[in-house]
A and B are shown apart, each in its own frame.
Chain A
């Protein structure tokens, strides 16, 4: 019996496809961490919020998918602004652990809200992506995963360009580098915090729509955030390139371990990688050295 290379390629491609969504969500996490130093454990639930808002706009209000998507992103943006202003900003100066626990609570509240509004039953999002099979060489890739990956890659590219060229990107990076110095050159630092939360929540909600389109939605889909947490710890909490590389890496490893060893090995494989990376580079593959670990 010979090894099926084509199958390996297909499994790997599917893994990288999921990895693109990990990278996108990790980007959302990193934006908040970089700008505000808040470890946002609710990122998976914010992703869920985006998916359910999309579901609500399509299924309940019967909007076309693009309008529902815009609506869901808007809901997430408002959620980000309100949360930052009312929950996170008053905690400024408190211990990082306290803020971190608040985000855990925030996640639970979101799960509760979703279950009240839509029950805990899993649901399917309406089909909005092309269903024609995608082949890369000879390898088949599920179209939803392929298109999900493409959208994630496009969004990430837009952000990378914006960070470099837009003046707001400079303000964000300056605030991330030195908060007092950012104030001292006239940057509205609380405004940057707010902006970071809005952008991150919109990005996470977008990822949620894609994740939901691929695998359906349920009130437990926030566990996606657990893999994302592994991604940012491996990549470095404050590193955008780390989020991208870490996302693809974790997606790949999960897919390979899940397929060749069995689903129960997915977590084992990713957490082994996590431990190995932390032992060699405690600040993550691309992270900044000084950052304290939680």
Chain B
């Protein structure tokens, strides 16, 4: 889906990141002028290889950089049209921006249901009952209902990812930042989870910024995609167009070219070529 042209009357996109730079420990620059937009109601994919800066981008948006001694040194981030700079992370969550972090980050010592109870803090100052949201979580993930009193640390990787997404559902956000939900899961589970991600987007109208290393997966649910390398966006476009792009097919979808044996070597060459273009 193309990004609708912005007119004065149109509501602002749910997320607008403009030229941000991120620096860790005042010395290590990780993002170098990154911009992206998430239109309301859409799933936008953010792709890139390991270490490109995808997770850092999400932490910049959810204001979690401070915990790792990182800071946004330039640029602006607007959520629902309002700048988020300086807003404590928990208040941003309460305003409707929910970050499902890489590696699931469930509370292992808490039971499944207590994990959901913890997420009710995201509803602070909001109307509507949390109990109804629990029912919704269990509707999407019947497994979790069965295991609701189990210590979350004992769940399988797939169930932990479901719980991490379930906490977001409790929060009832307008935007979910989803960091590599497929990480370490079997293909069957990944398929199941991506189907639910698409359903949540369609049924709840939740906008999503989806980070993935697996481009084919992301293209299946997203409408628009950004591809980043070393802290910058290098290509972006509607997923149909990205999926036809020769470079993207070759380096992110593993299609085209001659066989797969030398992919890592060519990845390096490609990376260097890009770097030359950009510097």
| Given contacts A171-B121, A174-B118, A178-B105, A185 and B171 within 8 Å (CB-CB) | yes
Q: Does B139 contact A (CB under 8 A)?
A: no
Q: Which residues of A contact B171 (CB under 8 A)?
A: 185-186
Q: Which residues of A contact B114 (CB under 8 A)?
A: 170, 173-174
Cα distance A216–B116 when bound, in Å? Answer: 47
Q: Which residues of B contact A184 (CB under 8 A)?
A: 62, 64, 89, 93, 98-101, 105
Chain A interface secondary structure, helix, strand, loop or mixed? Answer: helix
Cα distance A181–B99 when bound, in Å? Answer: 9
Which residue on B lies nearest to A167, using beta carbons? B117
Q: Does A188 contact B (CB under 8 A)?
A: yes
Which parts of B83-117 form the interface with A (CB within 8 Å)? Answer: 88-90, 93-94, 98-101, 105-110, 114-115, 117
Whether B109 lies near A187 (C-beta < 8 A) is no
Whether B101 lies near A185 (C-beta < 8 A) is no
Q: Which residues of B contact A185 (CB under 8 A)?
A: 93, 118-119, 121-122, 167, 171
Whether B90 lies near A186 (C-beta < 8 A) is yes
Q: Does B67 contact A (CB under 8 A)?
A: yes
* Nearest CB of A to B181, in Å: 14
* Nearest CB of B to A167, in Å: 6
Q: Which residues of B contact A181 (CB under 8 A)?
A: 101, 105-107
Q: Does A182 contact B (CB under 8 A)?
A: yes
Q: Does B124 contact A (CB under 8 A)?
A: yes
Whether A170 lies near B105 (C-beta < 8 A) is no
Cα distance A183–B121 when bound, in Å? Answer: 10
Which parts of A131-181 form the interface with B (CB within 8 Å)? Answer: 167, 170-171, 173-174, 176-181
Q: Which residues of A contact B27 (CB under 8 A)?
A: none
Q: Does A93 contact B (CB under 8 A)?
A: yes
Which residue on B lies nearest to A169, using beta carbons? B114
Q: Does B148 contact A (CB under 8 A)?
A: no
* Nearest CB of B to A257, in Å: 35
* Nearest CB of B to A85, in Å: 15
Whether A178 lies near B107 (C-beta < 8 A) is yes
Which residue on B lies nearest to A168, using beta carbons? B121
Cα distance A171–B100 when bound, in Å? Answer: 18
Q: Which residues of A contact B67 (CB under 8 A)?
A: 179-180, 183
Contact with B along A170-211 (1 / 0, CB 8 A): 110110111111111111111000000000000000000000
Cα distance A183–B98 when bound, in Å? Answer: 10
Q: Which residues of A contact B156 (CB under 8 A)?
A: none
* Nearest CB of B to A162, in Å: 14
